[in-house]
Amino acid sequence: MIKSSHYSRSSYNSHKKPLAAFLALAIALSLLAALPVAAGASPTGPSMANFKLVNTYARGHFPDVDETQWYGYDVQQTVALAYQHGLMKGSDSGMFNPDGNVTVAEAITVAARVHNLYGGGTGVFVQGDPWYQVYADYALANQIIAARDFADYQRPATRAEMVYVFSRALPEEEFPERNTVTSLPDVDSNTPYSEFIILMYKAGILTGNDASGTFAPNTSINRAQAAAIISRVILPGKRTVGRSYPASEQVTVAKYDSVGDFCEGMAHVKLNGKLGFIDKTGKEVVPLKYDAVRDFCDGMAWVFSGGKGGFVDKEGNEVVPLIFDGSRDFCEGMARVTLDEKRGYVDMAGRLVVPAIYEASNDFQDGLAWVKLGDKVGYIDKTGKEVVPVIYDGSRDFIEGMARVTLGDKRGFVDMEGNLVIDTIYDDSFDFSEGFALVHVGDKRGFIDKTGAMIVPPVYDGARPFCDGMAWVQSEELGKGGFIDTTGALVVPLIYDGSRDYCEGMARITLDGKRGFVDKAGNEVVAPIYDGANDYADGLAWVQSDGKIGYIDKAGDVVVPIIYDGMRDFAEGMAIAWSGDKIGFVDTAGRLVVPTIYDAGNDYIGDLAWVKLGDKVGYIDKTGRVVLPIIYDGTRAFCDGMARITLDEKRGFIDEAGNLVVPPIYDAAADYCEGFTWVQLAGKKGFIDKAGVVVVPIIYDDVGEFHEGVAWVKLGDKYGFVDSAGNEVT
């Protein structure tokens, strides 16, 4: 623990030790002129989230910065990041001077800006004479430096001095330990500022000049190196993770030829042409001796060797012997197996409960399985008993406890006890819906209940199954249709040309090419006057008239004026509306909350929606306020609470509050899954968490997504696994 920690989040800028009395008055007077412009506290208090992009940087911004060098835009982007966040600037001539030495004054200037921005200030100071005095006074007042630390501010700073100043710009809790430091080659207790150097190595901000972690504390530091360090100070996602000093030889577990994702705590792996399974400790639970495998499902995995297959459990026991030609996974405790092109079933104890005698069969569902013997079908239970005799020419799945069966060219229904409840007397039938089945008698339609009673006589020429207690019926003679209820009463008269099913108690009807709506009492609530209409959703339905679209409520009143060229359905209380080729958003009260000024956009997810202006995208909230600046080249939908954004072919992420959590610094990235996403830099991949912190080092040639807290990784041509803490599964 560093004893001189100078502030905490709860007491930002508070002094644990008063300055010497002879300095107090001088400092107070100098601060009257030294306070930064608009440096008030953040409404949310000191936070790493206060570091925002304030400047725009493109390749070639500084003529003397080679963007292909390690610090350039095409590699680590350290100069760009320091400039974008307002921490380092160029000279009056527009140069950055990456190889130039950093002076003590420049180091203190950067530290002062970091400290001020962290606290919610602007990071902008009014310079005086000499130019650095305002920064030195601020640093002294906020205990970033002490009164007698530096006698000459204009000399080059040593690497140790710069680390000392930078480390005191933030509270110590912002530097959590992510690496192990036992010793460094050229830093010991006698090294100036050694405790601060060790702190920064442990936090992953310093990595050293070579593989051993050599620091060279007493040498000078150039501006490119300073930009790299300060970018790691303010961006935890740029810090290294999982290193040890001194470096020890790492034993990699990337040893398999191929792997699969974890499923039910197990992952299949392949080595030298053979497959087996490992658990999350890396133990090979199922020996690598099989020619093919499927993932575990319901505690069992299909394995195949020597042309035959069976099942193993999670302890590697061959529960179902390898004697079958094929299988499906277990379902309801039973697995369909194939032997000599016949189907049967095994249970989870490995017993062949149903002999392989059937030409075809399906998985068990609600205790029954469909089987075919010869050209006849029926249903068996889990003992193999024929519950529905295998005598029918066809059947469908059980729906609402009833299955349609066919004998010859007639249809009937059986229940789940195998009773032929409804004789096979109908020319056609549909599955039961809401307790009724639509049946055909000749060319007429009617409805029966589950006892077979004819509830609606077969007098209609057309009909649809019941939905929401109502069924559409048609008369060929009239050429019109209407709706009946479950008693068979004609509630909506046969006067309409067409309809859609009821939704939210309303059905869209068509008459003479116009659309309207009827309720379940048969009232024509909305007269058929519209050229187009859609179903009600959340009490509103869009309608079209004379090429324009709006929304009406269930009383038929226009809520959203019918003035727009296009509209989308409401999502999160907001709907996209087009005026010409521009879009905006209206709310459910019909107000145009977001003007139609954008070139493209998408539905709100939570409180945010992305919009496009020109060729750039950003995010707005439900008041239309721009939450994320419209400066990005692309975005993807939110996934696991995070949305990927692209800027100059680099990827970053925002959260659902619109905060830029992960700056666009990565060459590639995937969607978040289980709280993590893989990212790519310079051809290597690793993982970051939702704070942007690198949790799995970016050192792998390829990676998969996290599944059950574990992800596969590839080094060279071999595969292994890591957990979400970055630990390799061994």
- Please say if the pLDDT value at position 250 is more than 60: no
282 dihedral zone (left: phi>0; alpha: psi -120 to 50; beta) = left
pLDDT at 699: 87
Q: What tokens were used for 682? A: 């310079």
Q: What is the 3-state secondary structure (H, E, C) of 683-728?
A: CEEEEEECCCCEEEEEEECEECCCECCEEEEEECCEEEEEECCCCE
Question: Per-residue confidence at 91, pLDDT binned at 50, 70, 90?
Answer: confident
Nearest to 520 by CA among 550, 554, 474: 554
Pairs from 492-499 (Cβ < 8 Å, separation ≥ 24): 492/518, 492/522, 493/522, 496/528, 499/472
DSSP 381-446: -TTS-EEEEEEESEE---BTTEEEEEETTEEEEEETT--EEEEEEESEE---BTTBEEEEETTEEE
What CA–CA distance (Å, rounded) separates 262 from 280?
A: 8
Question: Per-residue confidence at 247, pLDDT binned at 50, 70, 90?
Answer: low
How confident is the model over 61-89, as a mean pLDDT?
90
How confident is the model over 518-533, as a mean pLDDT?
97
Question: Per-residue confidence at 452, pLDDT binned at 50, 70, 90?
Answer: very high
* pLDDT digits 0-9 by tens, 663-713: 888 899 999 999 999 999 889 999 988 888 888 888 899 999 999 999 999
- Please say if the pLDDT value at position 550 is more than 90: yes
Strands 514-519 and 526-530: antiparallel
- Please say if the pLDDT value at position 393 is more than 90: yes
pLDDT at 251: 37
Count of CB atoms within 10 A of residue 165's CB? 26
* pLDDT digits 0-9 by tens, 401-429: 999 999 999 999 999 999 999 999 999 99
pLDDT at 74: 76
How confident is the model over 237-265, as a mean pLDDT?
77
* pLDDT digits 0-9 by tens, 555-571: 999 999 999 999 999 99
How confident is the model over 384-405, as a mean pLDDT?
97
Pairs from 413-416 (Cβ < 8 Å, separation ≥ 24): 413/437, 413/450, 413/452, 414/379, 414/388, 415/450, 416/366, 416/367, 416/368, 416/387
* pLDDT digits 0-9 by tens, 308-352: 999 999 999 999 999 999 999 999 999 999 999 999 999 999 999
Question: Per-residue confidence at 242, pLDDT binned at 50, 70, 90?
Answer: low
- Please say if the pLDDT value at position 3 is more than 90: no
- Please say if the pLDDT value at position 16 is more than 90: no
φ, ψ of residue 385 in degrees (nearest 5) = -70, 135
Question: Per-residue confidence at 36, pLDDT binned at 50, 70, 90?
Answer: very low
Average pLDDT, the chain: 90
- Please say if the pLDDT value at position 449 is more than 50: yes
For the chain, the residue count is: 730
How confident is the model over 73-81, as a mean pLDDT?
86
* pLDDT digits 0-9 by tens, 142-192: 999 999 999 999 999 999 999 999 999 999 999 998 888 888 989 999 999
Provide CB contacts within 8 A for 452, sequence distance 6+: 413, 421, 422, 423
Question: Per-residue confidence at 209, pLDDT binned at 50, 70, 90?
Answer: confident
Which of 47-51, 115-119, 246-250 has the least mean pLDDT? 246-250
| Helix, strand, or coil (residue 483) | strand
pLDDT at 510: 98
What CA–CA distance (Å, rounded) separates 47 from 636?
A: 27
